[in-house]
Structure 1
Amino acid sequence: MRKILISPSKYVQENGALENLGEYVLSFGKKALLVASEEDCSRVQGTLDKALNKKAFQIVYGGFGAECTGEEVERLISVCKEKQCEVAIGLGGGKALDTAKAVADASDLPVITIPTIASTDAPCSSLSVVYNDKGEFQEYRFYKSNPDVVLVDTAIIAKAPVRFLVAGMGDALSTYFEARACRRAFASNIPGGKSTKLAIAAAKLCYETLLEDSLKAVAACKANVVTQALENIIEANTLLSGLGFESSGLAAAHAIHNGLTALEETHHCYHGEKVSFGTIVHLILENAPQEEIEEVYAYCKSVGLPTCLADLGVKEVTDEKVRAVAKLSTAQNETIHNMPFEVTMEDVYAAIYTADKLGRN
């Protein structure tokens, strides 16, 4: 059996980490393309200025639109080539980081990811989720390696709106259950091998950390301060979830997320908010023990994650809408087919209705 574990080359998490950006840029070159929105740049410009004063390197501001689209990637590849950049940096949320990874891969350059929110495990992964300009899921793009450096400044994340942190918890929530399903099915992970014991352990530790520290981390984030609980949740949302999902595999929860993008009402929701509901549907599909399902529902309610379609903005639930989600979730190449049993569109249709009913109650 071929087992594969992949991970970023270097993961650095620290209060004030961004001030040392030059140290990591200069290990690759002097000129860096920065993929970041104007809003995210303005949030951290003071710290970036300190980093530029500390070390002699250059930043080319490439900007970033609202979505990781093929068009946005091509635009930034052109900027990177024209300015002769030697490293790509993604700064912001998951979509900006995914775009930077796509640009770096196409340009054969190293990439540094700098999350300003702990909303997904995108900073550590070797893939990008590509959408169209309407926010609908288009494809996964897979790369030959993970980011060269993941630089996590916990002070910046502590000052971000708490909803982003909670959304990251929703994304991380799925990690263990999807890893467990892939292990049971002997399904392949993202790099095409089977899961290692270390990857499964990371996924399980991710879930245990969420249950232990989430409420304390939410309180710290609301106060804009860094505590050990917040540090732990940032690590769970970013590193443990990243290692767990990529080296163990995805299953139903993320497929349901992709299916939910078929409903325009859900487009205002963050990735992890949709994944958290997908996790509940995942557990319904595998007929998980009642106490486990109740534990997940209770956790979601305690931190404010969606437990029903209304929480995702779907006020009027119709057969047509649920079937649209079920159809997209069970597309030929979807990760739902990593479940340890066959899953049909009708199975997903029934599980969505069941999860929605239980969540409303």
Structure 2
Amino acid sequence: MRKAFISPTKYVQGEDEILNLGYFVKTFGTSALLIAHPDDVKRVKDKLEATINKFGITLVESGFHGECSRQEVARLQELAKENNCDCTIGLGGGKAIDTAKCVAAGDSLIIIPTIAATDAPTSHSAVLYTPDGAFDDYAYFKQSPSVVLIDTTVIAQAPTRFLVSGMGDALSTYFEARATANSYSNVNAGLPCGVREGLCGPAKGTNAALALATHCYQTLLEDGVKAKVASDCNLVTPALENIIEANILLSGLGFESAGLAGAHAIHDGLTILEGAHHYFHGEKVAFGTIAQLVLENAPTEEIEEVLDFCLAVGLPVCLSDIGVDSITQEELMEVARKSCIPEESVHSMPFPVTPEAVAAAIITADKLGSDYKKGVIQ
């Protein structure tokens, strides 16, 4: 059996860690292309200036346009070439990070997330969009980022909703990994660039990745509420540090090397509902996790444990919590069919899944969550 595990070369997390950015740039050379939204640069300007002066590096401003499109990637690659940049830095949220991944194309890449809203920073994949923001394609690279640098002080200053959304994304990690392991399905870690050219075959997940996914869930239950309170106070505490690590590192390694399953597929289906458009990825994944547990007929105690956690930290447990106050049968089946297209991760569940089964799970999860909020289920 072929197995695969992928991870960043180095992960560093600590207070004011951006002050050490220059050290990592110097491992590649003396200059870096900085891909970041101007607002994110402004948030950490003093730290960037301090690390530039301390280590004698040059950061080339990119004028990032805010969308990870093929055109923007080509423009930034040319800018990096013109300025003889030795490495690429992606600083900020998902679009800046994905753009940096595409510009670097798997080489000499430093990722600095300013929020802990998803597990994307550690991955070797990115999502491309058209210039007007429509989905274009997925991109995979030969390796994960060279350095993932986490400044916990910066993340503590971000709105708490981002952290909670990250917990929603991380919440699915164990349950999807468990399903993938039970079905012996393939994982993203076996998909380097070149897979489309047949350079590499598929791979299963490793025991190490499943252990990380399990620890991710245990960390959420232990420290999630405490971390939310710390974030509300804009303070770095041990609990907040643990949840940042769970959201970014444990969940990131877990989803790529242990697998995705029903929760993310159902999330993808829910994106077609207009009411859900204003909700974050992790918020929709949290509801998708509940729906996956219903789909696999998980023990009542396990479902209630997840519901308790979601309510305690403020994650959605029913459709109205993600802006869907009503849904027609036609809309429901459209969501379910999108969740079940051949390339979706729902087929990593350890049993055959149909759109009808997904639709039933969504409605049942909605009713369970709604009733649980009202205290109907004890």
Q: Which interval holds the TM-score relative to the shorter structure?
A: over 0.9
Contact 1:135 1:261 in 2 (8 A): no
- 1:94-173 alignment to 2 at 5 Å? 94-105=94-105, 109-132=107-130, 137-173=135-171
1:202 and 2:212 aligned:
yes
Structure 2 match to 1:262: 272
Query: Which amino acid is 2:273 matched to?
Result: L
Q: Relative to 1, partners in 2 of residues 1:68 and 1:321: Cα closer, same or farther, differing over 3 Å?
A: farther
The DSSP-based 3-state class of the residue aligned with 2:89 is: strand
Letter aligned with residue 330 of structure 1: C
- For structure 1, which segment, 150-159 or 351-360, has the greater mean C-alpha deviation from structure 2 after superposition? 351-360
| SS of 2:88 mapped into structure 1 | strand
Distance 1:338 1:294 in 2: 24
How has the CA–CA distance of structure 1 residues 360 and 330 changed in structure 2, closer, same or farther, with 3 Å as cutoff?
same
Deviation at 1:131, TM superposition (A): 4.0
Residue 19 of structure 1, CA deviation: 0.4
Q: Structure 1: how far apart are the matches of 2:248 and 2:171?
A: 12
Q: Is the 8 A contact 2:174 2:254 kept in 1?
A: yes
2:107, 2:146 within 8 Å by CA — same for their partners in 1?
no
Supply the distance in 1 between the matched residues of 2:265 and 2:82 (Cα, whole angstroms): 38
Instruction: Rate the CA distance shift 1:213–1:152 in 2: closer, same or farther, 3 A.
Output: same
Bigger shift: residues 128-137 or 244-253: 128-137
Whole-angstrom distance in 1 between the partners of 2:323 and 2:64: 27
Verify the 8 A CA contact 1:136 1:262 in the aligned structure 2. Answer: no
Shift of 1:69: 3.4
Decide whether aligned partners of structure 1 residues 177 and 63 sit closer, same or farther in structure 2, where only a CA change above 3 A counts: farther
Selected match of 1:217 from 223, 227, 230: 227
Aligned: 1:357 with 2:367 = yes
Deviates more, 1:178-187 or 1:84-93: 84-93
Partner of 2:85: 85
1:176 correspondence with 2:168:
no
Alignment map for 1:44-63 (pairs within 5 Å): 44-63=44-63
Question: Once structures 1 and 2 are overlaid, which stretch shifts more, 336-345 or 143-152?
Answer: 336-345
Gaps of 5+ in 2: 191-202, 372-378
Question: How far apart are residue 280 of structure 1 and its match?
Answer: 1.0
1:12-91 alignment runs, 5 A limit: 12-91=12-91
- Say whether the 8 Å CA contact 1:284–1:354 is kept in structure 2: yes
Instruction: Assess if the C-alpha contact under 8 Å between 2:20 and 2:51 holds in 1.
Output: yes
Look up the equivalent residue of 1:302 and give its one-letter code: A
CA contact (8 A) 1:102 1:128 kept: yes
Q: Structure 2: how far apart are the matches of 1:101 and 1:54?
A: 26
Indicate the SS of the match to 2:44: helix
C-alpha displacement at 1:328, in angstroms?
A: 1.6
Q: Provide the C-alpha distance between the structure 2 equivalents of 1:157 and 1:149, rounded to a whole number of angstroms.
A: 17
2:353 to 336, 339, 343: 343
Residue in structure 2 matched with residue 310 of structure 1 by the alignment: 320
- Residues 319, 70 of structure 1: CA spacing in aligned structure 2 closer, same or farther, 3 A cutoff? farther
Equivalent residue, structure 2, for 1:248: 258
In the alignment of these two chains, the number of paired residues is 359
RMSD (CA atoms) = 1.6
Name the TM-score, length of structure 1 as normaliser: 0.95
Whichever residue aligns with residue 24 of structure 2, its letter is Y
Letter in 1 for 2:237: T
Distance change in 2, residues 1:63/1:260 (3 Å): farther
Q: TM-score, normalised by structure 2?
A: 0.91
Q: Percent sequence identity over matched residues?
A: 57
CA distance in 1, matches of 2:138, 2:342: 14
Is the counterpart of residue 301 in structure 1 residue 299 in structure 2?
no
User: 2:11 is matched by which residue type in structure 1?
Assistant: Y
SS of structure 2 residue aligned to 1:267: helix
Deviation at 1:137, TM superposition (A): 4.6
Secondary structure in 2 matching 1:296: helix
Shift of residue 82 of structure 1? 3.3
The Cα of 1:46 is off from its aligned counterpart by 1.1
Q: Find runs of 4+ consecutive structure 1 residues off by over 6 angstroms.
A: none
DSSP-derived class of the 1:35 partner: strand
Shift of 1:244: 1.0
Select which of 333, 340, 346 maps to 1:323. Answer: 333
User: Post-superposition shift, 1:337?
Assistant: 1.1
Structure 2 contact 180–260 (Cα < 8 Å) conserved: yes
Q: CA deviation at 1:170?
A: 0.4
Amino acid at match of 1:164: F
**Matched position secondary structure for 1:130:** strand
Task: Summarize deviations over 1:299-355 as a string: whole Å, max 9, x none.
Answer: 111111111111111222222322222122111211111111111111111111111
Say whether the 8 Å CA contact 1:135–1:267 is kept in structure 2.
no
CA distance in 2, matches of 1:260, 1:133: 23
Q: In the aligned structure 1, how far is the partner of 2:266 from the partner of 2:213?
A: 19
Q: Please state if 1:187 is matched with 2:185.
A: yes
Cα distance in structure 2, aligned partners of 1:90 and 1:194? 30
